[in-house]
Amino acid sequence: MVETILTIAAGIMLVAIILAIIRFVKGPSYTDRIIAFDVMTISSLAIIATVAYFANRIIYLDIAMVYGILSFLGVLIVARYLEKGL
Amino acid sequence: MNLLAVIGAFITLAGSIFLLLGSIGLLRMPDPYNRIQAGTKASTLGTILTFTGILLIVPGWWGKLLILIISVIITNPVSSHVLARASHYIKVPLTKSTLVDKYRDEEEYIAVNDKKSDNT
């Protein structure tokens, strides 16, 4: 029961990442691409947490932490570059 | 099968639906500011709900999941705010049905006042 629902949830998150990739390829301005990248990484955090349940390993949550911090820093650096502060 | 795990699974499903709605908003909204709004707010709520669901399914992992939830709550609005400010700075055009842009009005007001204070 629990595993079936979590599999469906992981599939829905994967569809969300694919829709964000479409916006990442199509997006006419820089802002669209960065925000699509942000949505992709945030959805990946949720998928990593689900996979950590399936594999029954707590160490995957550490990977999710590092990934979230790196995506935050990436968005911050690109925004700083667009403001010509870099 | 205990009840808490089933409730957690349904909360995870709700979180994934919020993530999907955020991505659909990312595709359908007309200009970059609306896309920032749709993408960031919905995906923040979806991720928090997903982590809460995993927390209910596996209660032994509460420490790291709590750190993840707090870091998502802190970092995601900051990144969306910085991105909106940068895209207003490089003058990304708004959609055609926009009525007011108070941020630009305020900047013009400050510029006019600075010029006045320089003259006197």
Residues of chain B with Cβ-Cβ distance to A51 below 8 Å are none
Looking at this protein, which amino acid is placed at residue A56? N
ipTM field = 0.90
Confidence check: pLDDT of B119 > 70: no
pLDDT in tens, A60-84: 999 999 999 999 999 899 888 888 8
* Cβ B46 vs Cβ B18: under 8 Å: yes
Average pLDDT, chain B: 87
Residues of chain A with Cβ-Cβ distance to B9 below 8 Å are 1-2, 5-6, 9
pLDDT confidence band for B117 (50 / 70 / 90) = confident
Q: How many domains does chain B have?
A: 1
**Of the given ranges (A20-24, B69-73, B94-98), which has the lowest mean pLDDT?**
B94-98
CA dihedral sign of residues A40, A45, A50, A54: positive
pLDDT of the residue at B13? 92
pLDDT confidence band for B45 (50 / 70 / 90) = very high
Structure-derived torsion over alpha carbons of residues A75, B88, B90, A82, reported in degrees to the nearest 10: -20
CA distance A73 to chain B (A): 9
Task: Determine how many CB atoms are found less than 10 A away from the CB of residue B59.
Answer: 12
B51 to A1: CB separation less than 8 angstroms, yes or no: no
How many residue pairs bridge chain A and chain B with CB atoms within 8 Å of each other?
172
Of A5, A21, A22, A72, the residue nearest A45 (C-alpha)? A72
User: Cβ of B57 under 8 Å from any chain A Cβ?
Assistant: yes
Please give the residue that has the higher pLDDT: either B1 or B38.
B38
* Cβ A8 vs Cβ B9: under 8 Å: no
pLDDT in tens, A23-51: 999 878 888 899 999 999 999 999 999 99
* Cβ B49 vs Cβ A47: under 8 Å: no
Residues of chain B with Cβ-Cβ distance to A8 below 8 Å are 13, 16
pLDDT of the residue at B1? 66
pLDDT in tens, B47-85: 999 999 999 998 888 898 999 999 999 999 999 999 888
Confidence check: pLDDT of B120 > 70: no
- Tokens of residue B37, six digits: 């709004």
